[in-house]
């Protein structure tokens, strides 16, 4: 006669057993997001691309215990203009501040310029979608 048995373990113990594999898998995917975002970000000087990074944090939350905190990841681009590139800008007026006219070094535009705005380039969002997160 065959017998079977079931062993029940506490959720915290089960989580502790599978957590290393899950965290490695998640970190691998997040690193792929960073790599893809760097390829999708526009490159003029390279500053925006080089600012893209991953931060890993252990935090407590509803599903965490003291022995098994939940790990969260954040991918960000850390330049003052990253948000403008990612979200785009509306048409706006640029006014002279410390000169009599606006210039890019070769062309003079006058004291006021009506900027048409910029299209969004959601490189971080696209990277998330392409990697499948």
pLDDT tens digits, 55-82: 887 766 555 555 556 678 889 999 999 9
pLDDT at 89: 96
Give tens-digit pLDDT for 3-38: 444 555 556 666 666 667 777 888 899 999 999 999
Using the CB atoms, write b or e for 68-105: b if 16+ within 10 Å: bebeebebebebeebeebbeeeeeeeeeeeeeeebeee
pLDDT above 70 as % of the chain: 77
């Amino acid at each position: 006669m065959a017998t079977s048995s079931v062993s029940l373990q506490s959720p915290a113990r089960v989580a502790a057993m599978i957590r290393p594999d899950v965290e490695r898998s998640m970190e691998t995917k997040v690193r792929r997001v960073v790599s893809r975002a760097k390829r999708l970000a526009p490159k003029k000087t390279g500053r925006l691309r080089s600012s893209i990074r991953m931060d890993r944090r252990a935090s407590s939350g509803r599903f965490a215990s003291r022995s098994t905190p939940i790990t969260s990841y954040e991918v960000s681009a850390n330049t003052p203009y990253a948000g403008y590139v990612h979200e785009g800008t509306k048409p706006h007026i640029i006014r002279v501040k410390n000169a009599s006219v606006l210039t890019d070094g070769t062309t003079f535009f006058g004291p006021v310029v009506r900027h048409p705005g910029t299209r969004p380039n959601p490189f971080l969002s696209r990277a998330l979608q392409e990697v499948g997160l």
